[in-house]
Structure 1
């Protein structure tokens, strides 16, 4: 059973709290100064051991320091868990932007997947051909343009992936089959890039120097769009879409940061509430022990003041107060950023 301060306190404790005069053992009233001291200390003790936690600073009734999980169809362990949901919602096929996909189809109508490695579809002799034109990449006889392309990536010399044979014939070195396939990828993707350049599209792909760590990608060549009069309306539309996309990404980022701040504040308040409850229980124990030992109200109050001074420098309390203040500052910062970004997007 929890101990009660009122059960352990002397009779004067309840009297002075009700505004009644305290009495000496012989029944006479104490002096006015002593009465004020006892009233102040009794009021202080009563406030210090108050269990009415709803009035505490940073009080929370949460039973856990963590925010409840929201219903979601996506797992945090999914490979696309880091991608904003609005991006996934707009993703349709390998090229999510329909205008970009249409331009790719116009440039390479017979090519089904420009991102696929050209080397994966090589015939037995290793000769790669473009489905949309008569270009052929022959690894047994590289032309001058192909040599220049490979030299840009691999340099020149014995370890460049190509070899010079009699008659001036340059072939891809077969000593490293993985490099051979990457070189054929490079030639095929370079050819695709030439097709796409006519539609004002930049196509990039990983270097053949080493194993791939990224996939090919493409986007509009904004400089080319600006130079060609027929493409200017498209450029204006793309700029508007990019502005919207930038705003959406900023709002997504702000939402994530505010969620982190909210979680941090909740955790700090939870731990501060728990610390406060433990501190109040320890204060009650101290006060009851002193009253049971026959100590008066003033001495007990002084001991309680000293204890609460020590609580002010408690490492656990300071740690969670700092965490609370840090996450509150984070929340203010990102609320401000969100407001500024919204104003920029709306033009107000």
Structure 2
């Protein structure tokens, strides 16, 4: 009896902790009493679904408490996050909705957790090479998040840095799930953003505002100011002597950099390879970018390459990208440190992040030894 009480108390505590965590990460305020009531009903229905499908589980192979709560929580959030509070209350009292929720969530858990065929992966979110990347990105996001103020450039560049860190997290999550081919494709996008950040963060403040203004061209067709934007685009193309309209839309913001503008048609062109990538000092990595571009479209070449090749490629290129982006974050944080709510962490960023990068470099040496790849 005492054992049952202890287990019940533990279940209550884990349930409460998981609901609190989900509320925090989603920014939502759940009806805890409703979630708890549905939790116990889902547990019962889950066991019924297992019997119905004649699935016999070994000890401790059942769905975990946190998994059940997460499926349930997000199901309810999906169906109610767009509704007024009073409508949500009525829905929680609707027997039909509650029955559907219990049935659907139980089926989701049985199929996804017990009938799912998972791809074999040579790594995991808990593996050092993934955890170290996650740590470096999480810490960078923490420091970037401490910077607050009205400075438009500071906030705009901050958002781009955050996007780069979140993209790196997405790349490593793909690697951890065994989707190394998709990780290569996403790294390609990251490398483009990396080059943008190098240029924007090292040039004068006015360039950022020109970049921001230039982004209006990407939504020109759906913009209520389409006619005015079209006229402005034509005038800019003429002023800079550019005939390729699409090329100017993609890279024309760089024409506001004097040394780039003077080199158009000579040293530079309005494209990625001979424009943005070259000006950012990353021409030496065009081979990697070009290889990643081949994967965008399915081909026999992609099918014949082993996953560990994609994994190796991504791990090493991702490190190069992270080092470049972190170098820019360092100078950015030093410039705007007085806008931080956490000056201590800003001042420690350079030293702390270097230690995390050293951990990643160490892990990469082990990966190189494992797969016979030279650094």
- TM-score range relative to shorter protein: under 0.3
Between Structure 1 and Structure 2, the one with more strand by share is 1
TM-score by length of 2: 0.22
TM-score by length of 1: 0.24
Q: Which entry has the higher C-alpha Rg, 1 or 2?
A: 1
Between Structure 1 and Structure 2, the one with more helix by share is 2
